[in-house]
Amino acid sequence: MKIIETDRLILRTWKDEDADALWHINQDSKVTEFLLGSMTMEKVKEFIQVCNESFEAEQFCFFATEVKATSDLIGFIGLNRIKWEAHFTPAIEIAWRLGSQYWNKGYAQEGAKAVLDYGFNKIGLCEIVSFTIPDNARSVRVMEKIGMRRDLQGDFINPQRIGHPVVKPSVLYKKASAS
């Protein structure tokens, strides 16, 4: 089901047939460079199910993102309720993961701006956060381009990264609703 439409993108709920494309995106070492590793097909299917359940319950999730002109699934952009504890939780995060062949085309920024608008104006959220490790300059750049501001006192160790070979503090970005 289409939820958000931009000039070039459609953000929608997930279909079972999206699993193969999402699995391929998550096998790309450029895509997973700053993540906790690639996803198995089982994890991809679980991710899709959890996203659709989240949408049913809360009207937001990490939306399947496709290019309008081609209907190609390029990854996801969306919102997620953080389920672990940190100094800034409870919170809703915005995140994105696109296939590397779709980088540097403005898709992440275009979709993320639309998701922020949806979160603030359709869902009624007051604040949305995002975070990554400082080495992930591409994501930091998107956060800044969509108007998020770094919380200079907000760096934290993401509990999901504990046990990862590279455990670095994450940088926290925030954006508050204009209303």
What per-residue confidence (pLDDT) applies to 104? 96
Is 31 a residue whose pLDDT tops 90?
A: yes
Residue-range domains of the chain with CATH: 2-176 (3.40.630.30)
User: What average pLDDT does the chain have?
Assistant: 94
Mean pLDDT of 97-124: 98
Is 121 a residue whose pLDDT tops 70?
A: yes
Mean pLDDT of 12-26: 97
**pTM score above 0.75:** yes
- The total number of residues shown for the chain amounts to 179
- Provide the Cα torsion 82, 10, 40, 138; round to 10°: -70
Place of tokens 């296939």: 99
